[in-house]
């Protein structure tokens, strides 16, 4: 009897314990569902924020005109302003990046190099690539026809064809690096930037394509305008302090007579040659740029009773600037 009573009591006890276990499990499941739900919604909110603020493509470029190229093609998909290594007023022939800039490069998705052998890139590109091996390096010069130049101070630059098969980084030293200063070359550079952007962000291809086409047509337009600007000019010669304008000169049939080369101060002979040439061709303007000293340009201008006009090869507003430069050159021609 007692045993029977006990067994009934035990059975009741067991049922109670089982109910308790089931309830505990249910509570655990409910808590888990709540926590997972909360977690998912938090991460969704996080993702939305990221889409808006952080998923822009970080692009680094060497020189200011490239920043306009990237911003125009990349639109609101790239972080703006695009980071430029060589700051306004500095020369890409001598510039060295700061530790802060190297830190920024290590966070970038794309580095768009000029690729034509400017000294800053020859000295730093390998180090930059090692610092951020995941980063896509876009060679803006891919497809640009390089020209090499033989300079003699104060005489017209002699250009000769550059051997395309020697187009290795180490062999770029003989070529003229200022490729971006012809709108035709700028078009090639912009297309290379477009290719880089769609490699990193293929789903926005249509967006980039539309931007690319609109900017290319602006470059075509300014190219036509420049041709008009020089039409009817007979004496298409310019005296420039630094021989920056080889590609521009070649495209528009201009002869550039440099006072110096490679950022070095001109020799006395170079200055004398420049003065003689200016007199011989009746040139009254010496073109210099804000990146270089204007001292010897002023000395020559004084000798010929002329003036120094500043034109910049490195302004960010590329299209506007190249139009301005063309007008300045044309204004000095007969």
Where along the sequence are the contacts to Zn ion (CB under 5 A)?
244
Q: Which is nearer to Zn ion, 244 or 256 (CB)?
A: 244
Q: Which of 100, 117, 226, 98 is nearest to 167 (CA)?
A: 117
Q: Which is nearer to Zn ion, 211 or 244 (CB)?
A: 244
The C-alpha atoms of residue 242 and residue 310 are separated, in whole angstroms, by 11
CB of 107 to Zn ion, least distance (A): 29
**Does residue 215 sit in helix, strand or coil?**
helix
Q: Which is nearer to Zn ion, 69 or 247 (CB)?
A: 247
Residue 133 has phi, psi (to 5 degrees) of: -75, -20
CB of 291 to Zn ion, least distance (A): 8
The C-alpha atoms of residue 56 and residue 74 are separated, in whole angstroms, by 10
Site of tokens 């580095």: 111
Enter the tokens of residue 94: 């001598």
Q: Which is nearer to Zn ion, 108 or 175 (CB)?
A: 175
Q: Which of 230, 238, 276, 229 is nearest to 257 (CA)?
A: 238
CB of 313 to Zn ion, least distance (A): 7
Q: Please identify the residue of the shown chain whose CB is closest to the bound Zn ion.
A: 244
Q: Which is nearer to Zn ion, 73 or 311 (CB)?
A: 311
Q: Which of 214, 213, 239 is nearest to 309 (CA)?
A: 239
CB of 67 to Zn ion, least distance (A): 18
Q: CB within 8 A of 205, min separation 6: which ones? A: 198
CB of 93 to Zn ion, least distance (A): 5
């Amino acid at each position: 009897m007692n045993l029977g009573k006990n067994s009934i009591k035990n059975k009741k006890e067991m049922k109670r314990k089982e109910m308790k276990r089931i309830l505990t499990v249910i509570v655990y499941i409910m808590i888990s569902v709540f926590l997972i739900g909360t977690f998912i919604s938090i991460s969704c909110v996080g993702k939305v924020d990221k889409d808006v603020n952080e998923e822009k493509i970080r692009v680094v470029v060497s020189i200011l005109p490239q920043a306009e190229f990237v911003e125009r093609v990349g639109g609101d998909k790239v972080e703006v302003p695009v980071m430029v290594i060589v700051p306004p007023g500095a020369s890409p022939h001598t510039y060295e990046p700061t530790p802060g800039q190297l830190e920024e490069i290590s966070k970038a998705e794309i580095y768009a190099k000029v690729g034509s052998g400017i000294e800053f890139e020859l000295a730093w590109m390998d180090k930059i690539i090692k610092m951020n091996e995941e980063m896509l390096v876009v060679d803006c010069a891919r497809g640009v026809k390089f020209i090499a130049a033989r300079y003699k101070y104060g005489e017209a630059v002699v250009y000769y064809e550059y051997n395309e098969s020697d187009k290795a980084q180490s062999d770029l030293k003989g070529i003229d690096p200022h490729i971006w200063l012809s709108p035709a070359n700028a078009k090639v550079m912009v297309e290379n930037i477009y290719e880089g952007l769609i490699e990193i962000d293929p789903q926005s291809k249509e967006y980039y394509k539309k931007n690319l086409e609109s900017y290319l047509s602006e470059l075509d337009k300014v190219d036509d305008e420049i041709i008009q600007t020089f039409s009817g000019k007979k004496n298409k010669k310019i005296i420039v302090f630094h021989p920056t304008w080889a590609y521009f000169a070649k495209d528009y049939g201009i002869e550039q007579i440099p006072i110096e080369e490679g950022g070095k101060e001109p020799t006395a002979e170079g200055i004398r040659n420049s003065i003689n040439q200016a007199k011989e061709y009746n040139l009254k303007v010496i073109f210099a740029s804000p990146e270089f000293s204007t001292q010897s340009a002023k000395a020559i201008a004084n000798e010929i009773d002329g003036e120094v006009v500043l034109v910049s090869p490195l302004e960010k507003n590329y299209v506007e600037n190249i139009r301005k430069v063309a007008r300045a050159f044309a204004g000095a021609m007969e």
